[in-house]
Structure formats: C-alpha cells, structure tokens
C-alpha cells in the first residue's frame, strides 16, 4: 500500500505522543473512496472504517449484521486513496469473540486484504486476550468502551454507560485492562463527561470520545452524521457542521425538474459534430 511509503502519514507513535503533548486527536469515520479522497486533504488524524457502515451505508438498523466481507470491501475502498490519516478498521460482531486465533486471523484480513493500519474491537476484560494476540502479531489495536453498539441487545438499547460510582469504577478498570493488553487508544462512547475525564486521567493511552465530553484526548464523529445527512438523527452529542441532506435533495430535485422541463442539457452540455 502506498500509504506506508509516501510523505509520512500519521503513525501510531504520533497518536500515542499526542496525549503526552496535550495535542487533541481528530478522528472521523469514512466508508468509501470518494469521501476518503476529500478527507485526505484535511488534517484529520485518524480515519475509522467503522462497522457503523451497517447503518450508514447498508441500511441495517444496527451494526450486528455487518460481516468481515463487508468490512474488507469498504476498508479496501478507503485505503486505496487515503494517504495521510492513520487508518483503523472495525472488527465486526463475532469476528473476534470465538478465540484469540480467530481474532488475529480476522484482524490480519483487515490489514492484508483491506489495507488497514490498525483494528478496533469492542469490550474490556472479555477481549483482552484477543487484544494481546493481535498486538503481539504487530497489528495496533484500538479498544472501545462505554456504549458498545455490538452489544445493544445486552445493554437494552443505545443508553449512556458508566453512570454511578460502580459503573464508573468498572469503566476505569476496563480501560486499564485494555491498556495493559496493548491497546494504543480507547474509544469512549456515550459516557458522562466527568467519567470520561477520570478514565482519560487513569490511562497513558489516548481516549477518543463520542458523546463523552470535552476532556477526552480526541474526538470522533460519524462522517454522515456531522455532515447532516439525516434530518431525523439528532442525538445530544452530535454537532452538525453542514446540512447536506437539504443540499443534496435540493440539487437532485432541481435536476429532476430540469430533465422533465427539457432545460437540461443545453448546448453547453452537448457535444458538437
Ligand atoms: O462504528 C463506528 O462508527 C464507531 C464510532 C462511532 C466510534 O465505532
């Protein structure tokens, strides 16, 4: 993959150093090459091909239906064009739960076939052995604590996690466990800001928050959410930096009207003899 040799893209070492240097880490999801090309021209540090592609790209109502083949397909599309940001790929549901060997084999596919530079998996103590096995093979692992969408049924919905002293203490303990297992960063999803701050202070690796307040070492948002692709999706943690739903619908409607009225194409868009 050209990304490893060209013009010094972001590395895992730089991400680790960011915490010590108190430089905030910016991360965003991406699932295809057209958006990857645009993101590559920004200063975003980490691109995650998240299993949220199940909801965003494939029309599923959760991430549980996402398979390894889906992930490899989308990671490869992104990695073909992305050069600067560090590229992380989600390990989908049941791709790392059966054994550490299964976890390593699937992490290997995301790196070898997909071109990812690291993988992310959800969970704490239960997945520590998988993290150890994958990192021992030279693949950096990002952990994911708090709301872990692959466990939505066990959690009783997409709910805030880590509320109350016991739950907060457990979250801090899990963060220490995944750090000790070798993770290079931890996504903290939908936990109270005060708890995310404690977790961030308790570990030496960066925390990347989504719905986890301002004190994490970095932030991640789902690309289509922050671009305003879905008028009906407005969770408290989301800031929309654009309203592309309206722009896209207005553009497609204008095209539709012009085709039907015969005002597109004109001579400008037509070839001469
Ligand atoms: O799948 C995903 O997009 C994620 C982010 C929300 C962190 O896991």
Residue whose CA is closest, atom 4 of ligand 1? 50
Whether ligand 1 lies within 6 angstroms of the CB of 190 is answered as no
Tens of pLDDT, residues 84-98: 999 999 999 999 999
Pocket test for ligand 1, best of 142, 149, 158 (most atoms within 8 A of CB): 149
Strands 207-210 and 218-221, by their bridges, are: parallel
- For the chain, give every domain's residue range: 3-242, 244-273
Whether ligand 1 lies within 6 angstroms of the CB of 187 is answered as yes
For residue 1, the CA-to-ligand 1 centroid distance in Å is: 24
Strands 141-146 and 46-49, by their bridges, are: unpaired
CA 166 to CA 36: how far, in whole Å?
Answer: 40
Whether ligand 1 lies within 6 angstroms of the CB of 178 is answered as no
For residue 51, the CA-to-ligand 1 centroid distance in Å is: 6
Burial (Cβ within 10 Å: 0-12, 13-18, ≥19) of residue 214: exposed
Q: Which atom of ligand 1 is nearest to the CA of 149?
A: 8
Residues 38 and 84: beta-carbon distance below 8 Å: no
Residue whose CA is closest, atom 1 of ligand 1? 50
For residue 18, the CA-to-ligand 1 centroid distance in Å is: 21
3-state secondary structure of 36: helix
Pocket test for ligand 1, best of 189, 208, 233 (most atoms within 8 A of CB): 189
Whether ligand 1 lies within 6 angstroms of the CB of 51 is answered as yes
Where would I find the H helices in the chain? 12-20, 33-39, 53-56, 68-79, 100-112, 128-136, 152-155, 165-181, 193-202, 223-226, 244-261
CA 212 to CA 209: how far, in whole Å?
Answer: 5
pTM: 0.96
pLDDT at 4: 46
Mean pLDDT by 10 residues, the chain (273 residues): 59 97 98 98 98 98 97 98 98 98 98 98 98 98 98 95 97 98 98 98 98 98 98 96 98 98 98 96
Q: For residue 33, give the H/E element and its range.
A: helix 33-39
CA 255 to CA 273: how far, in whole Å?
Answer: 26
Q: What does the block give as tokens for 193?
A: 């800001």
Residues 142 and 184: beta-carbon distance below 8 Å: yes
Strands 185-189 and 141-146, by their bridges, are: parallel
Q: For residue 120, give the H/E element and its range.
A: strand 118-122
Annotated active-site positions, please? Answer: 189
CATH node for 3-242: 3.20.20.60
pLDDT at 235: 96
pLDDT at 1: 44
pLDDT at 268: 98
pLDDT at 2: 45
pLDDT at 6: 47
pLDDT at 68: 98
For residue 46, the CA-to-ligand 1 centroid distance in Å is: 12
Tens of pLDDT, residues 171-197: 999 999 999 999 999 999 999 999 999
For residue 266, the CA-to-ligand 1 centroid distance in Å is: 44
Q: Which atom of ligand 1 is nearest to the CA of 208?
A: 7
Q: What does the block give as tokens for 68?
A: 């390894």
CA angle 71, 183, 192 (to 5 degrees): 90
b/e 22-55 (16+ beta carbons within 10 angstroms → b)? eeebbbbbbbebebbeebbeeebbbbbbbbbbbb
Q: What does the block give as tokens for 21?
A: 């240097």
For residue 227, the CA-to-ligand 1 centroid distance in Å is: 15
Residue whose CA is closest, atom 2 of ligand 1? 50
3-state secondary structure of 86: strand
Residues 202 and 176: beta-carbon distance below 8 Å: yes
CA 203 to CA 219: how far, in whole Å?
Answer: 16
pLDDT at 8: 72
């Amino acid at each position: 993959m050209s990304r490893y040799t060209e013009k010094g893209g972001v590395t895992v070492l730089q991400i680790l150093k960011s915490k010590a240097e108190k430089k905030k880490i910016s991360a965003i999801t991406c699932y295809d090459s057209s958006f990857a090309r645009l993101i590559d021209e920004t200063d975003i540090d980490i691109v995650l091909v998240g299993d949220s592609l199940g909801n965003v790209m494939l029309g599923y109502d959760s991430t549980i239906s996402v398979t390894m083949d889906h992930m490899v397909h989308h990671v490869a599309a992104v990695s073909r064009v992305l050069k600067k940001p560090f590229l992380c790929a989600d390990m989908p549901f049941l791709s790392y739960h059966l054994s550490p060997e299964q976890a390593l084999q699937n992490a290997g596919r995301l790196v070898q076939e997909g071109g990812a530079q690291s993988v992310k998996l959800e969970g704490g103590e239960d997945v520590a052995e998988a993290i150890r096995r994958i990192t021992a093979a030279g693949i950096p692992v990002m952990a994911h604590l708090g709301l872990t969408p692959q466990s939505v049924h066990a959690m009783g919905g997409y709910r805030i996690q880590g509320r109350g002293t016991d739950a907060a203490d457990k979250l801090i303990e899990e963060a220490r466990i995944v750090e000790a297992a070798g993770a290079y960063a931890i996504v903290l999803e939908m936990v109270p800001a005060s708890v995310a701050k404690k977790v961030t202070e308790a570990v030496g690796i960066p925390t990347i928050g989504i719905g986890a307040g301002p004190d994490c070492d970095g932030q991640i948002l789902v690309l289509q959410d922050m671009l305003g692709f879905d008028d009906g999706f407005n969770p408290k943690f989301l800031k929309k930096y654009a309203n592309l739903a309206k722009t896209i619908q207005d553009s497609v409607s204008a095209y539709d009207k012009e085709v039907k009225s015969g005002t597109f194409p004109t001579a400008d868009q037509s070839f001469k003899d």
